[in-house]
Copies of this chain bind each other. A is one copy, B any other.
Amino acid sequence: MISEEMMALGKKRSVIREIFEYGKIRAGEIGRENVFDFSLGNPNVPPPDCVKEAILDLVNTEDSVTLHGYTSAQGDARVRQAIADYINATYGTQVDADNLYMTAGAAASLSICLKALAVPGDEFIAFTPFFPEYRVFTEAAGGKLVVVPSREGDFQIDIPKFAEALTERTKAVIVNSPNNPSGVVLSEDNIRQLCDVMREKEAQFGHPIYLITDEPYRELVYEGVSVPYLLNYYDNTFVCYSFSKSLSLPGERIGYVLVSNKMEAERDVYAAVCGAGRALGYVCAPSLFQQVAARCVGQTSDISVYKKNRDLLYNQLTSFGFDCVKPAGAFYLFVKSMEPDANAFCERAKQYELLLVPGDDFGCPGYVRISYCVSTEQILRAMPAFEKLAKAYKA
């Protein structure tokens, strides 16, 4: 009698959450230091100092009624202007406050964009590996998720396969770079080809095909890798951003949707974003953290910790015989399972107290995700276990 679909969704615990719960139980049995949990994508590096400073200053000096009061539905105008100024200064764009809609994080940003766009029958394209909630959000908005496999080996977009997947029903294409779970950053060349194909298909089908870029990991890149800013490559672009990873604030739910100033019928699309936010019950993004975001925009947590972890893990694991793409960003390593069934591989890893996430839910069977947003000490302690696991498969 209630919604069976929602009940099923609520009952289906995410695989990641199940592994995490198992880890907690196991820690109770054998000690936390002996369980090597690489399952969760929760930043382990503290927020930059500006976050605490901003909260204290705001709470101590601002009028509390205004500080904690409703902002306009699209977000405080000065907050949006500060973020627009930062984006323009950093990426050479010309957006303004009215292109931005503040949200309760990237999940809200995506849900709102999809709801703003979807009409029954619409298809939305995602590339493997992809964040499993893309399917949930797309279906909740009434759309259908079409999955296009990425290139084996480097996880760049497979342009010919992509071109084939585009149909008259394609409403939008979702990209996520740096990628969860592979850490791969799409190259500028790959992006250009993607956009060329999309423009060609727009002309062929006679309607816009939108690009939705989900980029909570934009600032988490290593060795000066540059992440192309998609507004500069394609006009019909939405940027779905979150401060969760850059400022280590995932629980506070603060992010934005940026509707490109060059988008076709931009004011209509922006209105649809506002309407979707309203329909989904988002009244405004959390007000204190809107102000915090404006004050800290462009700053990041100490990402050198993630780089150190990545180098340590990547170098050691490959020396043990594991096969993976070296991640240029985010805080995940996406490793080939040493047997075809990644679930069986993860079960075997558990015997060495290693908690890894099978890639099946990310649309990539045969791979496992290893989150390195953990302490460097845990990685060091886990090394013998990884070595034993690799040897077990060679024996």
Contacts and interface: CB of A to CB of B under 8 A. Distances in A.
Interface in A86-120: 104-105, 107-108, 110-112, 115-119
A253 B290 CA distance: 12
A224 B117 CA distance: 49
Interface residues on A, range: 35 or more
Interface stretch (A26-34, A51-59, A358-366): A51-59
Contacts of A325: none
Quickly give the copy total for this chain.
2
B252 A282 contact: no
A105 to B, nearest CB: 6
Contacts of A251: 67-71, 284, 286-288
Contacts of A192: none
Contacts of A356: none
Interface string A244-277: 0000111111000000000001001111111110
A137 interface: yes
A207 interface: yes
A1 interface: yes
A117 B2 contact: yes
A6 interface: yes
A92 B133 CA distance: 39
A92 to B, nearest CB: 27
A136 interface: yes
Interface string A284-303: 11111100000000000000
A1 to B, nearest CB: 5
B252 A11 contact: no
A5 to B, nearest CB: 7
Interface string A1-13: 1111111111100
B269 A2 contact: yes
A112 B55 CA distance: 30
Given A10-B116, A70-B251, 4 more contacts: A1-B208, A4-B119, A104-B283, A137-B281
30 contacts: A1-B119, A1-B207, A2-B117, A2-B272, A3-B115, A3-B116, A3-B275, A6-B279, A7-B269, A7-B271, A7-B272, A9-B279, A10-B116, A10-B273, A10-B274, A43-B65, A44-B65, A47-B64, A56-B60, A67-B251, A68-B249, A68-B251, A104-B253, A107-B282, A133-B278, A137-B279, A140-B280, A140-B281, A253-B283, A288-B288
